[in-house]
């Protein structure tokens, strides 16, 4: 049935199964909290867009809460959130939900919206063959996910605890040449070419051009997130890229 309470109970029960001695590991707990925040953001964006078809609010709630469901088993089994070192967490998340989520009373088309949004929330692009009815849920969760990661990373940088969240991305002083070349050529960056905190931040800045809804861009502009990233990256070997990206962001 379409019950927000029932969905949250399932999520809590599933994530609780990964606890040891009554607690999740710190990075699993970080992902649990992230999932709850993305849930709230997805609902807020959907409401601002006045999505009011039957079950829209439940769908927004569910795609936000469940998008990272595979992160818990990923970290338990591999002690990493790197998909390259383990598995694609979007694909695995869709598989976990297809097998384990309680779909009783959920219409098949809504089940497919959830599974599609979870599967593609972490891909570079939403595939062109995704149906229009599924596409908006993919777009919604991708925006909500990015907004929370922008905020989380900035918060931890401000607090000086960023390496607790990104232990493999250390401060190198310079943006990697491979990543700079990739962004200059394609406008996007891949984690395969990212080796430092500066590299991660450059990839984040490219995300600004991949936000789907104006409210998402406006929200982050009002928080000066893009300006803070650009300022942090000055003098790290890619000033021309930063200037070009910021010009494009200003025009959105």
Residue 171 pLDDT exceeds 80 = no
Residue 202: closest CA among 184, 224, 220, 219: 184
What residue ranges do the domains of the chain occupy? 4-145, 169-250
Q: What is the pLDDT of residues 195-221, one digit of tens each?
A: 899 999 999 999 999 999 999 999 999
Q: What is the pLDDT of residues 105-128, one digit of tens each?
A: 999 999 999 999 999 999 999 999
Q: What is the pLDDT of residues 229-242, one digit of tens each?
A: 999 999 999 999 99
pLDDT of residue 55: 96
Q: What is the pTM of this model?
A: 0.95
pLDDT of residue 209: 95
Residue 170 pLDDT exceeds 80 = no
pLDDT of residue 168: 79
pLDDT bin (cut points 50, 70, 90) of residue 89 is very high
CATH number corresponding to 4-145: 1.10.3210.10
State the average pLDDT for the chain. Answer: 95
């Amino acid at each position: 049935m379409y019950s927000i309470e029932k969905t949250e109970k399932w999520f809590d029960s599933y994530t609780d199964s990964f606890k040891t001695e009554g607690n999740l590991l710190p990075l699993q707990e970080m992902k649990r909290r992230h999932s709850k925040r993305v849930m709230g953001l997805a609902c807020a964006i959907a409401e601002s867009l006045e999505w009011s078809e039957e079950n829209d609010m439940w769908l927004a709630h569910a795609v936000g809460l469940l998008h990272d469901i595979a992160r818990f088993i990923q970290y338990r089994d591999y002690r990493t959130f790197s998909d390259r070192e383990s598995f694609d967490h979007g694909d695995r998340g869709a598989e976990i939900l297809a097998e384990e989520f309680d779909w009783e009373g959920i219409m098949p088309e809504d089940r497919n919206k959830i599974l599609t949004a979870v599967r593609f929330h972490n891909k570079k692009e939403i595939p062109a063959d995704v149906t229009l009815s599924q596409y908006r849920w993919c777009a919604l969760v991708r925006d909500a996910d990015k907004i929370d990661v922008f905020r989380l990373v900035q918060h931890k940088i401000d607090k000086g605890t960023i390496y607790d969240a990104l232990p493999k991305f250390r401060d190198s002083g310079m943006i990697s040449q491979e990543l700079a070349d990739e962004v200059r050529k394609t406008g996007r960056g891949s984690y395969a070419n990212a080796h430092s905190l500066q590299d991660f931040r450059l990839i984040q800045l490219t995300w600004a051009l991949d936000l789907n809804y104006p409210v998402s861009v406006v929200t982050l502009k009002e928080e000066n997130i893009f300006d803070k990233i650009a300022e942090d990256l000055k003098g790290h070997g890619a000033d021309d890229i930063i200037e070009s990206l910021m010009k494009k962001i200003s025009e959105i």
